[in-house]
């Protein structure tokens, strides 16, 4: 393994907008009997952080048993809507091709760093046939930490153990659509690649410190070039003056 690629899911690979509040509404009512009044900010955050805020907003202590019950209820809610998710949601343009093409590149391993729970992550990718080239067992998930950079550390440690190797931070590439993805990558020391397919513009992702920003995943050659650092020399030295789709 020469390079570990850590994919975000929501609005990077998959568009499941509209489902999150529905799942939380069902989970909150099932666990606490309370109706969901409002959702906190969710983009780029971990499920533990979101669940903690949801409970707090509704006057429920976020103690470990309640959080665990919420996680179980969320997982059940997602599983119950898998058919609807595949019909109403979508894989983002180019996502399947990018995953498949990268899987054919020697030395690359792909997994996830996502705020989602592990089971939810699998359901989302499987719904759109995106699960074939991702090693779910070495992913970093939003179950145990409020902070995204912890998920990166978790995934890198799993990957190093699984492949019996050590990984330098600059052999790790984090791909995501939010400044939280970028910040987590930079905190760890990884290469941050933004994809402007979510709420954040390319300019906002650059301003957050992304080494490169792709407009989307539709251009498979551009995705491969960026993630392999081919054609993007001196990424560390030139981070202050990035161009969209390039590190340089």
| Confidence bin at 236 (pLDDT 50/70/90) | very low
Q: Could you tell me the pTM of the whole model?
A: 0.89
Task: Pull the structure tokens for residue 52.
Answer: 């903690």
- Alpha-carbon distance of 6 to 12, in angstroms, equals 11
d(CA 192, CA 190): 6
Report d(CA 21, CA 36) in Å as an integer: 8
- How do residues 17-71 score in pLDDT, each as one tens digit? 989 999 999 999 999 999 999 999 998 899 999 999 999 999 999 999 999 999 9
Cβ–Cβ under 8 Å, residues 125 and 14: yes
Rounded CA-CA distance 197/216 in Å is 6
3-state secondary structure of 102: helix
Mean pLDDT, the chain, integer: 91
């Amino acid at each position: 393994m020469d390079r570990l690629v850590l994919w975000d899911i929501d609005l990077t690979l998959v568009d499941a907008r509209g489902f999150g509040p529905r799942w939380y509404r069902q989970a909150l009512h099932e666990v606490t009997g309370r109706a969901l009044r409002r959702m906190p900010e969710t983009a780029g955050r971990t499920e533990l952080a979101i669940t903690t805020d949801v409970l707090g907003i509704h006057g429920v202590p976020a103690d470990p048993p309640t959080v665990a019950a919420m996680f179980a209820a969320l997982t059940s809610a997602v599983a119950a809507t898998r058919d609807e998710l595949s019909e109403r949601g979508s894989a983002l343009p180019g996502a399947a091709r990018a995953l498949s093409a990268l899987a054919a590149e020697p030395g690359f391993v792909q997994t996830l760093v996502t705020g989602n729970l592990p089971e939810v992550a699998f359901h989302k990718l499987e719904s759109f046939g995106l699960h074939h080239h991702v090693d779910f067992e070495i992913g970093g998930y939003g179950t145990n930490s409020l902070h995204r950079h912890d998920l990166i550390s978790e995934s890198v440690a799993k990957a190093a153990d699984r492949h019996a190797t050590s990984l330098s931070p600059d052999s790790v590439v984090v791909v995501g659509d939010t400044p939280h993805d970028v910040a987590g990558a930079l905190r760890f020391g990884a290469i941050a690649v933004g994809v402007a397919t979510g709420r954040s513009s390319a300019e906002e992702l650059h301003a957050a410190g992304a080494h490169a920003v792709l407009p989307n995943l539709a251009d498979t050659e551009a995705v491969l070039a960026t993630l392999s650092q081919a054609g993007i020399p001196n990424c560390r030295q030139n981070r202050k003056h990035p161009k969209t789709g390039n590190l340089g």
